[in-house]
Amino acid sequence: MRIFGKIVLIAIGFVLINYPFIEGKSLYYISIERPDRLIRHLLTSLFALTIVELFAFTKMRYRIPLYGLFLFGSMTYLIYYFTTGSEPDYEDFRTLMDARVMIGHAALSYQGAIIQAILYHLPITVGFFLFPKIHMGWKGTLTAVMLYLLALAGILMIIYNKSGKGTNGRASFITPVAQVSTFTYLNFLRSNAASFEYHPRIAPTKADLLTPKAKNIIVVMDESIRGDMIEFNTPLGTTPALLDFPQDSLLNFGIVASFSNCSDTSNLAMRKLPRLHKEPSDLFVDTTTVWDIAKTAGFKPFIIDAQHNATGHNFYTDSELQDVTNIHGSTLKNDGEVIDIITNILAENSEPVFIYAGLKGSHFPFQNTGFATPFTPAMKNTNLADATSEEAMNSYKNLIRANTNEFFIKLQALLEQNPETIVIYTSDHGQDLSNPSSKKTHCDAKTTSMEEGLVPYILFANPEIIASDLVQTLQQNTGVTNQMITAPMIMDFMGYKPEVIESYTEYPALLNKTGKEIGFIYKRPIPHFRSEIERFDITPKDIQHFQETGKSDKQLEYNFFAD
């Protein structure tokens, strides 16, 4: 009787945790009238439950580590589900791993989901450790472990056969373990890297140079700043500092498409200058970087990363930054301080410099302490799940006003003191805060919305540069502008010959394009699994609609149970 009670308690606890996954896929099979697959699905769920039941009847010295293994998988899966409203597939997992230095920030923003997941695990935990004296012999333990390994092998096969997909609705406590195993194998144990089609291109040389157009060239990549958050005409907005800027020394490209809706790929694109339709090859196979292009042109390269010192995220590697001066910025309090660093660099270097600066911007957690908060009502805490869309938006804006506006105030002073300086300002991706409790704000590869890939783009330079041929050509683009125009622009400013810029960047392909041909990438190339990309459909009309209403009304639908 006691044993039966324990079995039932574990079963209830298991169903409590896994109900949305089991139910969702079941309803899907019912809707497509596939009773065979429905039965198979329910049987695999029962199999997963059997493994947990067996785990709970092992000797205590095995039961504790097996519980740890169960908890690791199950908690990770459930927290992700509560946070984003969808189950993590391998690509989601990989995105998390690539952004693992941000984990502290994510934990602050998603405390609610973590607490909820802990509560959901209470019944099964009680059942697990009930009656410690009742246990099986070594044969039972071995069977439990063998069945677990069998299930793990099954999930691994699904991940491989479906290029990282297909794990939705499967044993949630095993899937993250399978994803960790896959990630470890592909990143650390397998020697050959990506299987992308290679499109060679010739890196420019000193013979390809004319005269540089400026002494200092600075590319500023802000963080999570959506296109409409940069305001030029209201003292009450997020960036009133721009009202005081000399208007003949800046060119506003308006709202443009980011390279991708994820930080890492957009940041990598700024350093690899990929060509349209050849992105995977240029990002991950071609070895030439913007640092090489700068050095060839006689510009000393600097990186300032106000987030994580150019390590452990955004695909930075030590070998990439070998000849680059890396100035650590992660301890800075405000993005205005990045300008202080730049001022020092310019003062200390008489030769031309190229600086790539990644700002802190307005990434979650939208912590609103230590500065003025003009936009109200704001979030009461950093937990996105507790916030209404309006509160999240206001906290987001307060942070932009504190960081980005301060950056622009100091930038104006910097440009007055250093007129030989060109600055390109943009952001890595936008932000969708319409449903902060259950949709990813960016980097959503499934229910992607247009807001995730709309960013600002401003060129700060003297009037002659703004009137120059290439800048004018790029500005007169009748299609959607993508921030990929940065590549030809910086090469032009560094003094490369027009025909070299055209053959290296193939930028004419970027012009007068609309829709899926030029929108931001939401399905990214993933080393090992996905070599193709997909772009979000954005038209000039969509951008106009967004500008007028503050909403894109454009979001992809995704059937989570179909994989």
Q: Which residues bind Zn ion (CB under 5 A)?
A: 223, 263, 428
**Residue corresponding to tokens 């454009």:** 554
DSSP string of 218-263, one letter each residue? EEEEESS--GGG--SS-TTSS-GGGGGS-GGGEEEEEEEE-SBSSH
Please identify, using beta-carbon distances, which residue of 286 and 428 lies nearer to Zn ion.
428
Least Cβ distance, residue 219 to Zn ion (angstroms): 15
Residue 452 Cβ vs Zn ion, minimum distance, rounded to whole Å = 10
> Taking the complex as a whole, how short is the minimal distance between the CB of residue 223 and Zn ion, in angstroms?
5
Nearest to 561 by CA among 31, 47, 175: 31
Q: Is the peptide bond between 200 and the residue preceding it cis, with omega within 30 degrees of 0?
A: no
Q: How many CB atoms lie within 10 A of CB 438?
A: 14
Residue number with CB closer to Zn ion (6 or 442): 442
Q: What is the DSSP letter of 334?
A: S
Q: How far is the CB of 282 from Zn ion (least distance, A)?
A: 21
Q: Tokens for 194, please give them.
A: 């990506």
Instruction: Give the three-class secondary structure for 213.
Output: coil
Q: Which residues contact 119 (CB under 8 A, 6 or more apart)?
A: none
* Exposure letters 275-308 (e unless 16+ CB within 10 A, then b): bbebbbbbbbbbebbbbebbebbebbbbbbbbbb
Instruction: Kindly tell me which of 221 and 341 has the beta carbon lying closer to Zn ion.
Output: 221
| Cβ distance to Zn ion smaller for residue 204 or 525 | 525
Report in angstroms how near the CB of residue 37 gets to Zn ion at its nearest: 38
Complex with Zn ion: residue 263 or 281, whichever CB lies closer: 263
CB 304 within 8 A of CB 338: yes
Report the residue number, 45 or 441, with the smaller CB distance to Zn ion.
441
Amino acid in position 232: F
Nearer to Zn ion, 245 or 259 (CB): 259
- Torsion 441-487-203-493 (CA) sign: negative
Task: Work out how close the CB of 102 gets to Zn ion at its nearest, in angstroms, rounded to a whole number.
Answer: 9
Burial class (CB in 10 A: 0-12, 13-18, 19+), 416: exposed
* Residue with Cβ nearer Zn ion (216 or 266): 266
Residue number of the CB closest to Zn ion reads 263
**Least distance between Zn ion and beta carbon 499 (Å):** 35
d(CA 483, CA 477): 12
Contact 221, 428 (CB under 8 A): yes
Pick 283 or 422: Cβ nearer Zn ion: 283
Shorter beta-carbon distance to Zn ion: residue 91 or 223: 223
Q: Give the residues across from 556 on adjacent strands.
A: none
CB nearer to Zn ion: pick between 18 and 427: 427
Q: Indicate the Cα dihedral angle 285, 290, 295, 299, nearest 10°.
A: 180
Contact 304/329 with Cβ under 8 angstroms? yes
Q: How far is the CB of 99 from Zn ion (least distance, A)?
A: 9
Token pair for 319: 């070998």
Least spacing, CB of residue 427 vs Zn ion, in Å: 8
Minimum Å gap between C-beta 303 and Zn ion is 16
Instruction: Give the pairing type, strands 250-257 and 216-222.
Output: unpaired
| Nearest residue (CB) to Zn ion, 104 versus 235 | 104
Strands (E), 398-491: 421-427, 454-460
Q: Which residues contact 6 (CB under 8 A, 6 or more apart)?
A: 56, 127, 130, 131, 134
Compare residues 429 and 528 and give the one whose CB is closer to Zn ion.
429
Alpha-carbon span 192 to 62, nearest angstrom: 37
- Rounded CA separation 320/268 (Å): 11
CB 258 within 8 A of CB 454: yes
User: In whole angstroms, how close is the CB of 401 to Zn ion at the nearest point?
Assistant: 19
Q: How far is the CB of 171 from Zn ion (least distance, A)?
A: 32
User: Nearest approach, Cβ of 371 to Zn ion (angstroms)?
Assistant: 21
Main-chain phi, psi angles of 476, to 5 degrees: -85, 5
Would you tell me how many other CB atoms lie within 10 Å of the CB of residue 221?
Answer: 27
